[in-house]
A and B are shown apart, each in its own frame.
Chain A
Amino acid sequence: MTRRATPPRVADWIAGLLLEADDARRLLDDLADEYAEFQRPHRLWLAADVWYLRQVLTSVWVLRRTSATRTRGFKAQGGGGVTGGSMGIESLARDVGYAFRQLRRSPTFTLTAALTLALGIGATTAIFSVVRTVLLDALPYDHPERIVRAWAHTDDGDITDFSFRVVEYEQLRGRSDVFEAVGAEFPASFTVLIDRQEAHQVQGRMITGDFFDVFGTVPELGTMFSPDEIAAGDRVVAVVTHGFWTRFLGGDPAALGSTIDINGNPFTVVGVLPESYAHISGTDAQIFIPFTLGTSGWIAHWLDLFVRLQPGVAADRAQGEINAVLDAIGETDRRSAGWHATVEELHEMVVGDVRPAIWATFAMVGLVLLIACVNVANLTLARSTTRTEELSVRRALGAGRGRLARQLLVENLAVASVGGVLGLGVAMVGLRAVVAAAPPSIPRIADVALDPLVLGFSATVTLSTAVLFGLAPMLQAGRGAMHPGLARRGDGGSPSRGGLLGGLVVSEVALALMLLVSTGLMVRTLAELDRQELGFQRGGAATFRVSVPSSRYPTSADTHDFYTRLRAELMSLPGVTAVGAGSDLPVSGEGAVASVTTAARVEASVDEAVTVLQRRATAGFFGALGTPLLSGREFDGRDRADGETTAIISASLARTLFPDGEAVGQRIGWGSAPDEDDWMTVVGVVGDVRYTEVEAVPDPQLYQAHPQSAVRQMAVVVRTDGDPLAIVDPARNVVRSLDPLVPVYDVGTLNGLVDLALAGRRFTMMLFAVFGTVALALTVGGIYGVLAFVVGRRRREIGVRMALGARSGDVSGLVLGQGLRFVLIGLVLGGVGALGATRLLESLLFGVPATDPATFGAVAILLSLVGWAACWIPARRAARTDPMAVLREE
């Protein structure tokens, strides 16, 4: 586990803000010394952080106080007169002192209120820092607002979010009046051979020479390859990331100009990117080589296009210009005809996918904060009633109403600030937990931290809570103070107060219902996704990728031979029940797309080809995946490179292409007008596999037999009758024994792939569940608190009733009825609110409507039950009232 070596920045910032520069520096330097020692293996990072924060806070307190003493002493010696202004300050200081003394006197109240607020403030602060870093912060590139990503699509809408052709890229580069730089890339996976004995698979990109100009990235060492060098395509050069340089090249500046073995070819390292550089995809791209090295003959749509706009050029205009260029090319080149582009701002591209979930979570946490405020308002209200006497006395002694109001406001602020400080701790811990549990699909999640802006937000929230929860009691206090004579009786008869308390319960139940319904919908979404028919058996299969280098396996036959031997060896491992390899793994979202047609469609002049996911598979692949063979056969020894070209298609493709009959034995051709050798014969039909995502209904799939279309990088699936991960090491040894220079990478399980695909939603659901639970607990506490308070205040009335013959059942019924009435009103109002709120969740839901009656019903029942339980305890206490004891108190 990696541990941060730096103390929490929040603490440094607090010290910087509150102390003289010299004091702050001395303190932080000293503490840094000790913090380093705290970072010993046997200590938890949390302990070190808490220690550090505590040291800073207490030291700031002591140092502030001593410097204040010094200043005051100096002033007194100066003998200056006391001005009106300082009088205000001093009385404020008295108020503050008085407030804290009051709070110390009722520790239960203070602790409960502060902890409740701390939960709300802490959770809100933690999620806000995620919002800020992930959604609001500018991307770490030069003028990122001028960078756009272009997406190609066909006019008929069959293909969207696609790539561009080399010729299109080249023409666009000419439009320098609109585009400052046009860059393109193509993802690639490289086998890097270190010291001729260690093979590593490293992700990278094949890029155009101006790719990094788009992002304003300059190498930290060496140079980038120039566009001209790229165009020439004869320089075998590479630019690597700082991480690659330190890991594989020893971080040695002399490594510039040296050669590394990439896919069996010697590449000269010409540049190292800065440490701060992060590839826009968020993936670990570490090697960049000129795209011309692999794509000289490419005419299809391969390149992912990024454009830096000239200053002042709007994204709309850029889109128009790109389309004008595409139209011009399309006039003479049919491969570009019918294609157009849309542009997307870079920030949108990076965070667009996660935005709804993060905002929804932020809204959830806002509800939790509101519930916390309601709870504290309720506590404060209860307390202010018991203090009526104190306030009346002060009023009688001449304190103005404004003065008393200020006193109460200061007390509320004191409670809130204690809550705020504790909340900071909650935020620190919560944030670490959130970052640790977050799926990698959330961009920049690792950078999330508490910083001055977040703290400012937190402070604002804290102040707002003080006003929010203080509002109602303050109104009450003013009124109570006007009737000093009544203060002693303290009967809760005032209808407005009853209404206020009821209002608190109602709003709490309503807010909790909204939160819990949202949580419930997310839980149902996950359950629905877990039930999806994925087209393969999740459990019991390990997966890993293997890449055989072209230098050692120059022909298709060599490549296929390797995989045939690998399969045979893996099959002989104990526990292994099936082995196969495919070009792509399920729910990984990657892979080639192609289009196909049939002789019948060509004859009927159906111009439109059918878009398919193009996959390659070895013998045994479907058995290993657990994908059912519906008719015909799997690939086997009969599918030879020199034999008849064969294909296996998915059930949906069979239905589309051969609606009237058996697909096996029929012929399929590539494109919409296949040439002579574009045809292949269907030998089998298998179930559809969800290749792109768990949620999506699969596109039809077409599999080519590996010997007839051998690719070097394949994903191997090994099904066992035991723990799939236990087979990984033996499998690795098998690969090594066949060829030590073939890397094994992306090791995992089919189950893990599905989990990864659902990680984002599961994470959101988990956060919802946590906040929902907190909300539920706060609400139960709130209802209980209000009713207990009401029962306490109606003790005399209850006593009298019982003395006059009411039975305990009547009394508890009375109390229960009052509580449950509030709960019911809350449920109705919350239901209406939830109908609106869950609409905002719609984009996060799957397989369950935002107004799902079952979820609404279940949550309503749950809240009624806990509401009933929370009312029942005070009701029972009321029923046990001894009328004689009460009457004797009079």
Chain B
Amino acid sequence: MGKTGVLGSFEELVLLALLHQGPDAYSVPIRRELEARSGAQVSMGAVYATLDRLEDKGLIRSRSGDRTAARRGRPRRYYELSPTGAAELHRTRRIRDTMWTGIELPEPEGGEA
């Protein structure tokens, strides 16, 4: 990871969604995980763009799955976290925790985060 350092917040969310999925993470469940946990609409295109960028940066690795009949015979692409990616996530979390330390923010109205 270069000197610019911090993960983009959507990148971070995608990485976390990927980890929630375990070893069989691919684009469809990742997108759904993001939607389910954030409660916001997430476009498939945004997921691709981010996955591609993360792979370019070497934070994740991908492999082709088996061919399944359900997808007109085309294989799925599965993703997993690379060691660099794991390190980067830890670092991001540490930075974030540090930044939050000592901050007391009033709860937003309606109690929604």
A-side interface residues toward B, CB under 8 Å?
23, 25-27, 29-34, 54-55, 58-63, 66
Contacts and interface: CB of A to CB of B under 8 A. Distances in A.
13 contacts: A26-B77, A29-B74, A30-B27, A31-B44, A32-B71, A54-B41, A55-B43, A59-B45, A59-B46, A62-B45, A62-B48, A63-B49, A66-B52
Contacts of A29: 71-72, 74
A23 B44 CA distance: 11
A30 B77 CA distance: 10
Contacts of B53: 66
A141 B49 CA distance: 46
Interface of B: 27-28, 31-32, 41, 43-46, 48-49, 52-53, 70-72, 74, 77
Given A58-B45, A59-B48, A60-B45, 13 more contacts: A25-B74, A27-B48, A29-B71, A29-B72, A29-B74, A34-B28, A55-B43, A61-B43, A61-B45, A62-B46, A63-B45, A63-B48, A63-B49
Contacts of A63: 45, 48-49
Contacts of B49: 62-63, 66
A465 to B, nearest CB: 28
Given A34-B28, A66-B49, A27 B74 contact: no
A26 B28 contact: no
A23 B28 CA distance: 14
A66 B77 CA distance: 20
A30 B28 contact: yes
A25 B74 CA distance: 9
A60 B72 CA distance: 22
Contact of A34 (B32, B41, B52): B32
Contacts of A66: 49, 52-53
A59 B74 contact: no
B70 A55 contact: no
Contacts of B74: 25, 29
B54 to A, nearest CB: 13
Contacts of A26: 27, 48, 77
A66 B8 CA distance: 15
A126 to B, nearest CB: 27
A29 B64 CA distance: 14
Consensus secondary structure, chain A interface: helix
Contacts of A27: 44-45, 48
Contacts of B32: 34
A16 to B, nearest CB: 15
B76 to A, nearest CB: 8
Contacts of A23: 48
A30 B72 contact: no
Contacts of A54: 41
Name the 4 nearest CB pairs between A and B, nearest first. A59-B45, A62-B45, A58-B43, A66-B49
Contacts of A30: 27-28, 31, 44
Given A27-B48, A33-B28, A62 B43 contact: yes
A34 B53 CA distance: 24
Nearest to A61: B45
A613 to B, nearest CB: 57
A34 B27 CA distance: 11
B71 A33 contact: yes
Contacts of A32: 71
A55 to B, nearest CB: 5
A14 to B, nearest CB: 12
Contacts of A59: 43-46, 48
A803 to B, nearest CB: 49
A788 B41 CA distance: 40
Contacts of A62: 43, 45-46, 48-49
A59 B44 CA distance: 6
A541 B49 CA distance: 65
Contacts of B72: 29
A53 to B, nearest CB: 12
A54 B52 CA distance: 22
Nearest to A67: B49
Nearest to B77: A26
A58 B70 CA distance: 25
Nearest to A65: B49
A25 B41 CA distance: 22
Nearest to B43: A58
A34 B32 CA distance: 9
A836 to B, nearest CB: 50
A716 B9 CA distance: 74
Contacts of B77: 26
A60 B41 CA distance: 15
A61 B43 CA distance: 10
Nearest to A64: B45
A60 B44 CA distance: 9
Contacts of B46: 58-59, 62
B7 to A, nearest CB: 17
Contacts of A60: 45
B69 to A, nearest CB: 13
Nearest to B72: A29
A55 B44 contact: yes
A30 B45 CA distance: 11
B8 to A, nearest CB: 13
Interface-central residue, B32, B43, B46, by most chain A CB under 10 Å: B43
Contacts of A31: 44
A60 B28 CA distance: 16
A31 B77 CA distance: 14
Interface-central residue, B45, B52, B70, by most chain A CB under 10 Å: B45
A34 B45 CA distance: 14
Nearest to A57: B43
Contact of B70 (A33, A34, A61): A33
B89 to A, nearest CB: 22
Interface-central residue, A23, A31, A54, A63, by most chain B CB under 10 Å: A63
A598 B44 CA distance: 82
Interface-central residue, A55, A60, A61, by most chain B CB under 10 Å: A55
Nearest to B56: A70
B14 to A, nearest CB: 13
B32 to A, nearest CB: 7
Contacts of A61: 43, 45
Nearest to A32: B71
Nearest to A59: B45
A863 B41 CA distance: 45
Nearest to B71: A29
A29 B43 CA distance: 14
A29 B69 CA distance: 12
A66 B28 CA distance: 20
B80 to A, nearest CB: 18
A233 B58 CA distance: 78
Contacts of A25: 74
A30 B78 CA distance: 12
Nearest to A62: B45
